[in-house]
Each structure stands twice: as C-alpha cells, then as structure tokens.
Amino acid sequence: MEPFSAVEFLGALAVFIYGIRLSRIGVQLFAGNRLQSLISSLTDNRFAGLGVGVIVTLILQSSTATTVMLVSFAATGAITLPQAMGVILGSDIGTALVVILLSVKKISEIALLILVVGVALDILSQRKRTRYLSMMLLGFGFVFFGMHLMILATSPLRGNHLLVEIFEALAQNPAYAFCAAVVFTALVQNSATTLGLCIALAFSNLISLPDAVPLVLGANVGTCASSLLNSFGGGTSARRVALSHLLFKLSGAIIAMFFLVPITKLLADFFSYSSALGTNPAAQIAFTHVGFNLCLSILFLPFINQGAWLVRKLVPEPFHSGEEIFGPKYLDPKSLETPALAFANARREILRMAEIGLEMFVKTIAVFERDDHDLLSYVEEQDDKVDILDRATKFFLAKISQETLTSEQARMQLNLVAITSDLEEICDVVNKNVLELAEKKIQKGRHFSIDGWNEIKDVHAKIVENYGLMLSSLTSKDETIARKVMRHEKHLAVLEDRYREAHLLRLHKGLKETIETSSIHLDLLANFRRINSKLTAIVRTTIPVSESRGR
C-alpha cells in the first residue's frame, strides 16, 4: 500500500469544496429568480416553510446558502421571523438528504461519467441555460469525484498509529471532537464538507459511528457561522434569523451531547436491524445527520411562534438616540453573490427612493398654498437624500457581475438602472424647477386666481394618483395598473391643454392674478406634465410593453 500523501488529500478536499461551490453557482444561474420567488411567496404556514426549506436546500446543496439567503431577505423585510424559522428547519433536513448521496459509494464511482456529460454539454451547447446545466453537472461530478479521491487518499491511514491514537483520544473526549468539528465547519463554511470528510474516513474504516456522532453534531453547529457573519450589518431582523438558526442547532446538539452514550447505543441497535446499514459506517453517519435534523424539526416546529417571541426578546429593536446618518438600508454587499437576492435588495431601495419622491411632490402643493419657506427647505433636503440613494443603488447594481447573470437578469439590471434614473429626474424636476417657481411666487408675493389654483390642484392630485399607481407597479407588476397609467397619461395631456386654454381666456379678460402668475402657472403645468411622463416611463420599464398592449 502506498504511503499517505497530504498533498493528495488536500487536493481531493479542494476538488470536493470546489464542486460544491460550482454546482451552487450553476443552480442559481439556472433557476434565476425562481428560488427568490419560492421563498418570498411563503405564507405563515410553518409546514409550507418547512417544505420550501427542504426543496431550496436540495437545490443549493447547502443549508448555509439557504440560511444566508434568509438573513438577507429578513434584512429587507421580505419575510417574517416565523416564516424564516420554518424554512431554516426545512433547510436542515434538505442538507441532510444531500449528505446521504455522499454515503452511496457507487455514486462516487460514476463521478467521471457525470463530468464527461457536463463537459460535453459545455462544449456543444450554444444556449446559456444549457451551459448553466453543464455547470451544475460539473459541480456534482467534482463533488462525487472529490469524495472518491478523499477515500483513496485516506485509505493508507488505516495503519497509522498516530492517527489511531488521535481518534481514540477523540473517542474518549467527545467534547473535543465536537468543538473541533464546530471550528472546522465554521472555517470551510459548509457542513457538507465536514460530513463528507467523516464519510470518507468511514469508508476507509478509520472512524466508527460512536466516533462520528460528536463530529456530526459539531458540523451542524459550525454551519451557523456563515449566517451569523452575514447578519452583522443587516439589521435587527437579519440578526434574529441568524440567531434562530444557531439556537435550533446548538440547543439540539447540547441535548444530544448530554445523552451521547444512550443515543449512540440506540443508533447502533437501530442500524443493526438493516443488513445494508449495519455494515456501512458511512451510511450510518449520513442517516444520523438526517435523524438529528428530523428530530430538530419535530421538536421545534410546533413552537415556532414561541421561539420567535424568545428571539425578539434576545435581540430587541435598538434604541436610537439622536439623528442617524442617512444612507441606503437594503444594499447588502453580501447579496451580490446571489443576483436574484441582489435585485430584490435593489428594488427595496428603489421603492424607498420612490416613496421619498412622492412625499416631495405631495408637499410642493402646500408650499404654493401657504408660501411656506420652511417646508420648501425641507423638500430640498429630501432631494439630497434621493441623490444619495440614486448613487448608491446605481453603484450597487453596477457591481453585479455580468458573467453571472442570465439574459433575463441582465435585462432586469438595465431596467432597474433606468427606473432609478427616472426617479432621480422626477425629484430633480421637483427640486430645481417646481420649487424654483414656488420661490419666485413667494418672493414676489403673487397669488393665483381661484380658477387657476383649482386647475393646478386638480392636475397635481391626478399626478399623485398616478404616482401611487407607479409604486404599485414596482411591487405587483400588474398589467391592469399599466393600462390604467397609460389611460391617465392621455387624459392628463387633454386636461392640461384644456386648462392652458382656460388660462389664456382669463388673460384675455385681463384678470390681475392671472396676469401676475401667468409664467408661473404655465411653467408649473409643463413641469407637472414632465413628471407624469417619467412616471409613465417607469411603469413601461417595470411592465413590458407587450404585457400592457390591448388597453
């Protein structure tokens, strides 16, 4: 037998880890925004959340990836804490089912065939989605081939007396084995890597089930490290989701460690009833991992609401003393690794920007009505906030790599940049044009005629209604809203022309107020029309023209 080679072992481990990362990227590109839609469409049904957690984790092959996604969704307010807790329990089961595949030795033996198919698809394919599929297959192939290489690399260690003594020491001190697994899993940021290594050692007859149970428990706790790190800077909701994950795993692991001896004996007795499992320590490790996470779900799922209450107590809303520095709230840099999540965060920030713009436009009418200089200054300050969000959002969207985007996501990236630009231009019109007219009216002490003021208020009210429809289109993408906005644009153009004619008639009559405010009146209507055109443009960008035809 050839001697153990550390380089071969580390190379096998590298192939295994790379396979996990490659397959996850391929799945995210192939699925596009479907994973995000699957999670964000959840109801408060905890069983639905459990099922979604299982499905998403089976797809991503990592409960860590699922939980990190949940942390980011929670930071943007897309899901509630009880919803996230249900998905977390499901993700733990999903990753356990993934590990079972690693314990099937025959799958490792066909890894090269999977790689051949993946490479063939990559060479022959001309469509992006086929290339994403080949990336998934290559990732799976590398995972199983890496497992096969780890088994080969660790086989010579069976006769290594030092390693035998180390495992004997760990068997006598399960707490050390548990802590070592926690640290290693936190470093590699994936429990599948730790469990895959355990399974490879079991295939080589280097560890048995009693040795592996503390390692399995430690891997389950260590996998919480990534979600905890990603929760920092993500706000209170993100920290609550990450803490929920840790509490589930840690409390279950501590209970299991206290009853380690009877649990190990119970597992050994259970596996002895199956001829397939009784002589296969690798499969025993995989099914122990499944059993642990199933028990967690059975134990905690009925008490999710109570658990959410406890987590809210442990992570209360922060006390804010003084004024906070204004800046983006939802543009989490960590979400850039998952384009669908990055776009969801950008949309949340754009919606926030649009709401500030609506407040600015609504308050302009009060500035004209009351000649309120303080309110005018406040609206100008709000435009500074919009400029901050505009720059931050565009910079955030620009950092999403084009290479990792599907054609649909690339279009979405351009659309979001266009919407951000249109919103910023609306606020610029309010600040630089509409408020300038208000300043002119205040300084000269002018007053609109009664009829003229009523016409201005009527146009303003209709644009406010259109603005509200635009906000709805950003969240719902309902073609009915799009058709309504298009109708309003035509109606408002006709209305503005009629009001211009009415203004000219008052000028011919020589009304003093009309003459004094004529330029302000006409310029104000023109600027209102510009704002409404931009609102319509945003709706057209949000909802494709093909979907809004036939109105």
Domain-embedded: residue 302: yes
Of 289, 2, 11, 3, nearest to 150 (Cα)?
A: 11
Domain-embedded: residue 351: yes
What is the structure's pLDDT at 69? 61
Looking at the 3D structure of the chain, how many domains does it have? 2
Half-sphere exposure of 288 (CA within 13 A, CB side): 35
Domain-embedded: residue 321: no
CATH number at residue 448: 1.20.58.220
Domain-embedded: residue 329: no
Is residue 396 located within the same domain as residue 501? yes
Of the candidates 314, 345, 371, which is a domain's last residue? 314
Which residues constitute the domain of residue 44? 6-314
Going by C-beta distance under 8 Å and a sequence separation of 6 or more, which residues neighbour residue 88?
A: 53, 63, 66, 67, 70, 241, 244, 245, 248
Distance CA 241, CA 86 (A): 11
Domain-embedded: residue 412: yes
CA 256 to chain centre: 32
Is residue 368 located within the same domain as residue 297? no
Decide: 402 and 410 in contact? Cβ < 8 Å: yes
pLDDT by residue for the chain (551 residues), tens only, comes to 466 677 887 887 788 778 777 776 776 666 555 555 555 555 456 667 677 767 666 655 555 556 656 665 665 555 667 777 777 777 767 666 666 666 565 666 677 788 888 888 888 877 777 877 888 788 878 877 776 777 677 666 655 566 556 666 766 788 888 888 888 888 766 677 777 778 777 777 777 888 888 988 988 888 888 777 766 655 677 678 778 878 888 998 999 998 988 988 888 888 887 766 666 777 788 788 888 888 888 888 888 888 888 888 888 876 544 445 678 888 877 777 777 778 888 888 899 899 999 999 999 988 888 888 888 888 888 888 899 999 889 988 888 765 567 777 888 888 999 999 999 999 999 998 988 988 888 888 888 888 888 988 998 998 998 888 888 888 777 778 778 888 888 888 888 888 888 888 887 877 777 777 788 888 888 888 899 899 888 888 887 644 444 44
CA angle, 294 then 298 then 304, to 5°: 120
Going by C-beta distance under 8 Å and a sequence separation of 6 or more, which residues neighbour residue 441?
A: 368, 371, 517, 520
Residue given tokens 């009833």 in the structure block: 273
